[in-house]
Structure 1
Amino acid sequence: LAYAIILPALYAPMIAMLLGLVFRGVAFEFRWRDPAHRAFWDKAFTTGSVIATFAQGIALGALLQGITVRGRSYAGGWWEWLSPFSLLTGVGLLVGYALLGTCWLNWKTGGGLQRQAVTYAGRLGIGLLIMIGAISLATLRLETQYYHRWLSFPGVLATAQVPLATLIVTFLFYRSLRLKRDVQPFLWALALFGLCLTGLGVSIWPDVVPARVTIWEAAAPVRSQVFMLVGAAVMLPVILAYTAWSYWVFRGKVGTEGYH
């Protein structure tokens, strides 16, 4: 049910995101195999990354602002996903991913590139904090339930911990930059993303389609859920182990030759 409603509403940004990811992957490979045109592939990689990220942010904003539902199907138009709020979330995600990228470069590089990454990380951190504030305030105006979930008493005593934690993590992020740490800025940036996801959960829980369809209404049959649970129980440890192994193999600073 959730897919049947959400996907028709977000076909355009989803297609753009997938095309951007394909373009990004091709460019990443060919910049190594076609050094004569590396400048072109660098621009192609940047373009694909920006398109994929911006489209993903737009899709998130379009979902959060609400989808027109009639009965059990999508009833909106082709351009319903496009709004000032969805564009705002698209820009916000661009800033957030750029921050993660600069923190990763700070972790994995040295010398002048690392110093440049630290400088950009400091600026992008401020930008992300501004975007978080702007999106949060705009979200409160989208649906009445968002406003009440965040600001109604006594629930506000719990929800207020999210922005408070965001300020604390931001302080620790800038402290780690000032102390010239390699790994900590990246981890604190991830923590900021985690807090943003927590805020998203506060806003929409227990809905899958905000203010339209709850997780209980969209739930699959029990047998399907059990099947997926078994699959996740098998595959999740494999994915975690592979990811941990990848981090171990590519530990340390990036070299001057090859991919690492």
Structure 2
Amino acid sequence: MENFDLSMIWALIIGFAVIMYVVMDGFDLGLGILFPFAPDEDARDVMMNSVAPVWDGNETWLVLGGAGLLAAFPLVYSVFLPALYIGVFLMLAGLIFRGVAFEFRFKSRRRRIWWNRAFCWGSAVATFAQGAVVGSYIQGFTVEDFVYVGDAFDWLSPFTVLTGLGLMAGYALLGATWLILKSEGYVQDWAYRITPKLLLAVLAVFAIISIWTPFVDPGVWSRWFDHIQLIWVLPALSMLCAFTIFRSVRRRDEGLPFISTLGLFTFTYLGLVASKWPVIVPPDYTIWDAASAPESQLFLLIGVLFVIPVVLAYTAWSYWVFRGKVKVGEGYH
């Protein structure tokens, strides 16, 4: 029973870290995806300046979630790493290129176009890889006794390509609504114009994935359709958030589009968790199958319970200090 309780607590901690990373790092990755389509170089400066003070802190949640997963559910790594080596490598390479572009773009004049490309392609590759990894989790792995026995490219399939493209559209939507919140003038007008188009793209991809998923994983079909489930509340709330985005953009609200997009991502994420729970290594292994020893989980939990409030406080303080609009010609570099 102790192991059951600790495994549940760790699952909640890791799940919280994942959604915090998605919603917080998602908008700056989305800005990178939108970079080539910006009106001009001044608009690109505003886009990058709007996230420059907080982007590296956002990635703290990725480190926390990954480290927590290794500590609390080490057997997951015996499957995920061999199955997703290439996808994870692409994600990390993209994040590195994006991080380098952050620092060198403002210091370069003659070769700025190359740093623009590094920022864009790094963001796009990292986002696509994350989406493909999520798709791989949905479709499951070929596992025998917690050993991956599939191919190195099993993670790449038509379904995972779709989930990768879907996450790119979703992050771009987050980036556009963030830009509505943080910019003004013609940059904000551009963000208002592209937001409804991005939302339609996201809804179209999400609809296809939702129809496709029960055929990829029969367990999801059973979870969704065998009985009347409260799980259907989550997509309903997602659609409510989508409607709110449309309406708030037409009314030219500034904060509500971004908040509603965060809600859209959160409810979609909760829908995925509810569809697979308590499986952590599809198709068969649960969080209790993959859990480390209770003593290890308890020892590490004590440290994490001190770390999370510090990270939350630092994050909140950073966003509070750098609140307000980012104007053309002004920045933090």
Structure 2 length-normalised TM? 0.76
Give per-residue Cα distances to partners, 1:1-38, cap 9 Å, x unaligned: 11111111000010000000000100111001112221
Tell me the distance in 2 between the aligned counterparts of 1:170 and 1:127.
12
Residue identity opposite 2:91 in structure 1: M
Matching residue of 1:97: 171
**Identity value in percent:** 45
What residue in structure 2 maps to residue 153 of structure 1? 227
Distance in 1, matches of 2:320 and 2:186, equals 25
Shift of 1:211: 1.6
Aligned residues of 1:150 and 1:202 also touching (Cα < 8 A): no
Distance 1:147 1:178 in 2: 37
Alignment of 1:80-91 (within 5 A): 80-91=154-165
1:61: how far off? 0.6
Structure 1 runs not aligned, ≥5 long: none
The DSSP-based 3-state class of the residue aligned with 1:208 is: strand
1:245 is aligned to 317
1:76 and 2:150 matched:
yes
Q: What is aligned with 1:170?
A: 242
2:141 pairs with 1:67: yes
- Please say if residues 2 and 213 of structure 1, whose CA atoms lie closer than 8 Å, have aligned partners that are also in contact: no
1:58 aligns with 2:132: yes
Secondary structure at 2:200's aligned position in 1?
helix
CA contact (8 A) 2:169 2:201 kept: yes
Q: Note if contact 2:83-2:141 (Cα within 8 Å) is conserved in structure 1.
A: yes
Higher mean C-alpha deviation, range 29-38 or range 188-197: 29-38
Q: Distance in 1 between matches of 2:282 and 2:257?
A: 33
> Hey, what does 1:42 align to over in structure 2?
116
The equivalences for 1:1-260 within 5 A come to 1-155=75-229, 158-255=230-327, 256-259=329-332
Residue 175 of structure 1 and its aligned partner are, at CA, apart by 1.4
Say what the alpha-carbon RMSD is for the aligned residues: 1.1
* Structure number with higher relative contact order (C-alpha < 8 Å, ≥ 6 residues apart): 2
Offset from partner CA, 1:118-150 (integer Å, 9 cap, x none): 111111011111111111111111121110101
CA–CA separation in structure 2 for the residues paired with 1:44 and 1:24:
6
Distance in 1 between the 2:273 and 2:330 partners?
A: 43
In structure 1, distance between residues paired with 2:182 and 2:222: 43
What's the CA shift for 1:258?
A: 2.7
Q: Which amino acid aligns with 2:231?
A: T
Any unmatched runs of 5+ in structure 2? 1-74
Q: CA deviation at 1:210?
A: 1.8
DSSP 3-state at the match of 2:110: helix
Runs of 4+ with deviation above 3 angstroms: none
State whether residues 61 and 86 of structure 1, in contact with CA within 8 Å, keep that contact through their aligned partners in structure 2: yes
TM-score (norm 1): 0.96
**Distance in 2 between residues matched to 1:179 and 1:60, nearest whole Å:** 34
